[in-house]
Amino acid sequence: MEEEKSKGEKRLQVNDYVVGSLPTVIYIPNFITESEQSQLLRHIYEVPASRWKFLKNRRLQNWGGVVHEKGLLPQALPSWLTKITQRIGQQTGLFPLPINHVLINEYLPDQGIMPHQDGPAYFPVVAILSLESPITIDFTPHPRSKEFETPMENKDSTLYESASGQINSPSTESTDSPKDEHHQFSVLLMPCSLLIFKDQAYIDYLHGIEDSESLSLDKVVNISEVIKLKELQNPCGSLHAVTSDVTQDIGQNNIFQRTSTRVSLTCRLVLKDSAC
């Protein structure tokens, strides 16, 4: 992989990591090592219990300050987080300023996050680091893409907005069908991986995780990760079938059963600092 040096960190050629048909969805496997994952998890679970905010179907920690319409009421990120956010900034080169906001979401196997947009408070690039267990994140064209809508009604919007401190535009639970079913896709997020989505994927798509213990691999665009997952689930299984006919194998067994907790770090940049 072609790489160049940038401020002590190797700059990745992010275009080499584009998955699916949108050029603005980037998936980097093994962005951190397993030992870095363990260190992060240790920090996450060592914080005082009061750091956790409980939502209807998951809990989260908010780091960096409170996000509201006027911008961010900033609070410095702890060093165990800046270690990783600086690396994301330097290796991807996709953030014009240091990442200043991190949400840590914890999902039990039957928990997810409803389809939503992250909204205009953030610079339109999101980096999501996945820890502990795999999950699929689904992208759906916004029913009214191109224009930013405010929420009308949704399952957990009140809790989500107040407790997470972010300005979100969750899906409206409307019966509108997406503009083009064929443009729905999923990305399989393995532990230690980094997902980045930006621009069109940020603005014209909703993203979400089903609150179900069974996740479909049908629409996954990063197929090589599906193969890895199947190897993990069935190390002595029919590997030859996987390598000889990937599509057929995925078609035969395309449900992934979640059995353990997943933790994610959503790393973003709030451009407006409301303290200024």
Q: Least CB distance from residue 240 to Fe ion, whole Å?
A: 39
Binding mask 250-269 for ligand AKG (x = CB under 6 A): --------------x-x---
Report if residue 196 touches ligand AKG, rule: CB under 6 A: no
- Cα separation, 33 vs 38, in Å, equals 9
The DSSP-derived string for 98-135 is ---EEEEEEE-TT--EEEEE--TTB-SEEEEEEESS-E
Nearer to ligand AKG, 92 or 105 (CB): 105
Report if residue 137 touches ligand AKG, rule: CB under 6 A: yes
Q: Least CB distance from residue 139 to Fe ion, whole Å?
A: 11
The long-range contacts involving 34-42, CB below 8 angstroms and separated by at least 24 positions, are 34/192, 36/84, 36/192, 37/131, 37/132, 37/191, 37/192, 39/80, 40/80, 40/84, 40/129, 40/131, 40/265, 41/131, 41/132, 41/263
Report if residue 118 touches ligand AKG, rule: CB under 6 A: yes
Nearer to ligand AKG, 84 or 242 (CB): 84
Binding mask 70-109 for ligand AKG (x = CB under 6 A): ---------------------------------x-x----
Nearer to ligand AKG, 157 or 266 (CB): 266
Q: Find where tokens 């996740």 sit.
A: 215
The residue at minimum Cβ distance from Fe ion is 118
Which of 87, 142, 198, 207 touches ligand AKG by CB under 6 A?
207
What is the contact surface with Fe ion in residues (CB under 5 A)? 118
Instruction: Give the DSSP H or E segment for 5.
Output: strand 3-6
Q: Least CB distance from residue 207 to ligand AKG, whole Å?
A: 6
Nearer to ligand AKG, 137 or 192 (CB): 137
Residues that contact ligand AKG, how many (by CB under 6 A): 9
- Cα separation, 211 vs 178, in Å, equals 20
The DSSP call for residue 149 is -
Please name which of 160, 128, 89 lies closest in space to residue 264, comparing C-alpha atoms: 128
Q: Residue 236: CB partners within 8 Å, gap ≥ 6?
A: none
Integer angstrom CA distances of residue 101 from 14, 149, 164: 22, 23, 11
Report if residue 62 touches ligand AKG, rule: CB under 6 A: no
Report if residue 161 touches ligand AKG, rule: CB under 6 A: no
Q: Residue 259: CB partners within 8 Å, gap ≥ 6?
A: 109, 133, 213
Q: Least CB distance from residue 207 to Fe ion, whole Å?
A: 6
Instruction: Give the DSSP H or E segment for 35.
Output: helix 34-46
Return residues touching ligand AKG (CB under 6 A): 103, 105, 113, 118, 128, 137, 207, 264, 266
